Amino acid sequence: MIDIKQLSFKWHKKQAIPTLAIPTLTIEQGEQVFLYGPSGAGKSTLLSLLAGINKADSGTLTLLNTDINQLTNSQRDKFRADHIGYIFQNFNLLPYLSPLENVMLGCQFSAQRKQKALHKSSTLAAEASRLLSALGITHELQTKAVAELSIGQQQRVAAARAFIGSPEIIIADEPTSALDTNNREAFIKLLFAQAQFANSSLVFVSHDQSLRHLFQRTLSLMALQEVSNASV
């Protein structure tokens, strides 16, 4: 599903030490992984490589049997649109659009995801509404402007947008940092339910280690890289 081998990435080519050096990592289809590490460890950098936003300097990063390091920029953009749902730390919603419109935008760049959404419901709007309801956004809220929603509600909209069209990989970058502990756990459980329903793998990044017990598997980014340092 996700398979990394000898991955190395530097933000600046003159850096002596790579920002990230991961000798090996495999994440199976449907796995729910909690990735943690201190600030500056490279969590967001790794997510940007997984999402094909940036390209590794060396090594292989195979997602769904495709080494995305071998793709051109536009091929990586298409791959991301088809196969990856991304929940951003700041949600990246369009505030003047409604939750329904924001969620439908999740299919905007992918005919494949649109088709998958239309297998689940008769229209894209119906599928967006189904997902929003499953994530706790009532019908009444679904047509308001997103800017009128609370942070916790916006976060649920961002999650519904990531899940529309059942992408195989869901990436969540610190999506719970604005919530209190009870709401964090409740939100993560909603994510799990949706990920299981779609059989998506979930890679969830956080500093907050109190959340790790909820996940099937936890990965320390520092430990992943120590293996690399030890093997040099």
Ligand X SMILES: Nc1ncnc2c1ncn2[C@@H]1O[C@H](COP(=O)(O)OP(=O)(O)OP(=O)(O)O)[C@@H](O)[C@H]1O
Query: Which chain residues interact with ligand X by CB under 6 A?
Result: 11, 19, 37, 39-45, 207
Residue 204 beta carbon to ligand X: minimum distance, rounded to whole angstroms: 13
Torsion angles phi and psi, residue 6, rounded to 5: 50, 45
Report the C-alpha gap between 62 and 144 in whole angstroms: 40
Nearer Cβ to ligand X (10/114)? 10
Name the token pair of 127: 């599928």
Minimum distance between the CB of residue 24 and ligand X, rounded to whole angstroms? 20
Which CB sits closer to ligand X, 39 or 74?
39
Side-by-side strand order, sheet with 217-220: 84-87, 169-173, 201-206, 32-36, 217-220
Radius of gyration of the chain, Cα coordinates, nearest whole angstrom: 18
Least CB distance to ligand X at residue 15 (A): 9
Nearest residue (CB) to ligand X, 19 versus 24: 19
Q: Is 165 left (phi over 0), alpha (psi -120 to 50) or beta?
A: left
Q: Which is nearer to ligand X, 18 or 99 (CB)?
A: 18
Closest distance to ligand X from the beta carbon of 174 (Å): 7
